[in-house]
Chains A and B, each alone.
Chain A
Amino acid sequence: MAQKERKTSGAKALSQRSLYVILLAAVLYMVAAYLNFFTPDADASMVSIIVSMATAMVAVGIFRAWQERKGEPLADERTILVHRIAVGYSWWFSYVVIAVLLLVNQFKLATLNVEGVLSLVFFTMIASLLLFRFYISRQEVLG
């Protein structure tokens, strides 16, 4: 019985999480609109980055809500384990990317700017997490 209650509350929490993601995206849209219409000095690229982030968050929120509607749990002990392992690998991969960028900068192999490096690290972290998660979820023995 306690087991059932735990699972039910877990499913509700996940639904709330999807809602929060969409609400946060709405806040980001409002921030972007404020910067665009009421702040003349605002950087246009910053506005487009915020809008892109918000759009991605809406997409994730809708996808999660759709999965929840199917009645399948979004995460169970195996997927949580896969995620944890993937986060570890992703962290190391991002660390290596940063080290490479540091060497590139040190030996002047390319011209780097802050925006470019931050964007690269930002996308490397999320992309590598998704890739590692996909790869590890197809591995046989996890733990």
Chain B
Amino acid sequence: MKTRIKELRARYNMTQEELAKKAGVRRETIVFLEQGKYNPSLRLAHDVAAALKSKIDDVFIF
């Protein structure tokens, strides 16, 4: 699944580690999400989107 996590992270000047802490996951999970190599659960998608102050649809491209 493609995502706009990297772009949104850059907009908010946030590192992968900071985003991981905000979303309550490990940094490697953020890496895999950014690379589109992991399909998150709805809860994780929500948490990541909330950490990036965006809607799920704006972060994850279905």
Contacts and interface: CB of A to CB of B under 8 A. Distances in A.
Interface of A: 3, 7, 71-73, 75-79, 137, 140-143
B20 A77 contact: no
A78 B27 contact: no
B58 to A, nearest CB: 20
B47 A140 contact: no
Given A3-B47, A141-B38, A142-B38, A78 B21 contact: no
Interface of B: 20-21, 24-29, 32, 37-41, 43-44, 47
Chief secondary structure at chain A's binding surface = loop
A95 B43 CA distance: 35
B38 A76 contact: no
A73 B37 contact: no
Nearest to A142: B38
A58 B39 CA distance: 35
A143 B39 contact: yes
Looking at A7, A75, A76, A143, the one whose CB has the most chain B CB atoms below 10 A away is A76
Contacts of A71: 21
11 contacts: A3-B24, A71-B21, A72-B21, A73-B24, A73-B25, A73-B26, A76-B25, A77-B25, A78-B26, A141-B38, A143-B39
B52 to A, nearest CB: 15
Contacts of A137: 28
A137 B38 CA distance: 11
B12 to A, nearest CB: 19
A76 B24 contact: yes
Across the A-B interface, the 5 shortest Cβ-Cβ residue pairs:
A76-B25, A140-B37, A78-B29, A7-B24, A76-B26
A72 B20 CA distance: 8
Nearest to A6: B24
A140 B31 CA distance: 11
A72 B47 contact: no
Nearest to B26: A76
